[in-house]
Structures are given as C-alpha cells and as structure tokens.
Amino acid sequence: MNRDELAQLMNQVRSGEVSPEEAVQRLRALPFEDLGFAKVDHHRALRRGFPETVLAEGKRPEQVVAILRALSARAPLVMATRATPELAAHVCAEIPEAEYHELARIIRLGQAPEPDLTRRPVAVVTAGTSDLPVAEEAALTAELAGCPVERVYDVGVSGLHRLLAHGETLMRAGVIIVVAGMEGALPSVVGGLVDVPVIAVPTSVGYGAAFDGLAALLGMLNSCASGVVVVNIDNGFGAGRFAAILCRMCAGAGS
C-alpha cells in the first residue's frame, strides 16, 4: 500500500464507506508479514514509494513464489531480481501472470506503469554488449518505477565516436546511468559532457587484472568528472532505483 492508497482508505473511513474494522483488516499485515523463512515488508511502499523487491539469487524457487504471492496480494506491481531462467520457469508455472525478462533477469508480477512523459528520461549507457544484463536490470527497474528510459548501448571508449553520435540523447536526459567493465572509464567521459547526475555502475566484465569488477569500481570512484556517483559492482537494480528517486524528486520540484 502506497501513500495515495493509504490516504484514500482513511478518507473512506471518514466518509463511512469503509468501517474501522475493515480498515484494520486491510492494514493487518503492516508493517510486515511473517512467512517463517521471510518477513515480507508491506510497509516499504509507504515509506519509499515502491514495494519491496525480491532478490531471487540464493533463494529456493518455492520461497520466491511465496514471497511474490504475499507481496502481490497488497501491491499492484512487484519484482524479483537476479532470477535464473530455471527459477523463473518454476515461478511462472506457479504464478502464470508473472512475466520474465530474461536479459534483465527480472520477474515482474503486475502491470507495468505507463512512463511519466512529464519527466526527463533516464539514459542508460553501456560500454559494451557484455554489460547488457546489468544495464537492462537498471533500465527495467527505472521503467517499472514509471520513468521514461532511453538506451544507448555499446559506446565504450575504445570507439568514442559511437558515444558522441548520441549527444542529443545524453543532453535531454535528466539522469544518466553508465554501465562499464574493464577499466571503467566511460562514466568519466560522460560526466564531462553533461550537466546532470551520472550514476556509474561497474561490472565484472574483463580479463584477469579487472579483478571481477574491482578495477572498474576503483576507476569510477576516482573519476575526475564531478557529479558522478558509483554503486556496487553489477548493481543495476540499485542504479535504476536511485535514478527513479532522482526523477521523482525533480518532477516534484517542477524541473
């Protein structure tokens, strides 16, 4: 239940349309529901504007199913990240209305919102094609939060003219997510071209001395461009949620 839904329920109680007892029944699972193996946070949408997201990685398929069912009973849209095709197949068999986005490794349950076209778009930029799973996790997360998203893929610094060909897309974006492995140089380049926040996402793409993304992470943390923030290695979800929060704040400020 989000803020608007809670306010509507309170107004219904005030008008007599809903009895206090019925309102208590609807709110009984707040702030969380104990499933034994998991405590499902139904209060998160009220606190943060978006329901709890399930990290599928490390969970048994039946646990993911139970958590998604509990969440979807009280939220119109829920998602699970880092879902393998095998786990997703089990979930979709148990919950036929669930939809699996394989490249992003996200299971979605509920109708995706129409993008809020009053907001400036989130641009998701990748250095290479190998970065696409992390980039799509970020892009889809932002889209499921109602953000318009534009994708600019495979424009790394080994062929910088490819990035410059998308200058108009970068300039109209309100937030830019830059996903890169190897040495992680692309966010610094993008940060030097634009006047909006840049969210850098290091990936574990690269050969031995890339240290599974550590080299990219350190390179991004040492960016010489201002206005660049960095999330954890392969954390497309975190980047997408942060971008959505920034978009929502900018929309609320009227910019």
pTM: 0.84
CA atoms within 13 A on the CB side of 86: 4
pLDDT, tens only, 61-102: 999 999 999 888 888 899 999 999 999 999 999 999 999 999
Banded model confidence at residue 17, pLDDT cuts 50, 70, 90: confident
Boundaries of every domain in the chain = 31-110, 122-252
**Which range (26-40, 74-88, 135-149, 207-221) has the least confidence?**
26-40
Contact (CB, 8 A) for 104 and 139: yes
The string of pLDDT tens digits covering residues 199-248 is 999 999 999 999 999 999 999 999 999 989 999 999 999 999 999 999 88
Q: Do the Cβ atoms of 141 and 166 come closer than 8 Å?
A: no
pLDDT greater than 60 at residue 1: no
- Angle formed by the axes of helices 61-72 and 85-94, nearest 10°: 50
Q: Does 45 score more than 80 pLDDT? A: no
Q: Comparing 64 with 44, which gets the higher pLDDT?
A: 64
Identify the CATH class of 122-252: alpha beta
* pLDDT tier, 44 (very low <50, low <70, confident <90, very high otherwise): confident
Q: pLDDT averaged over the chain?
A: 90
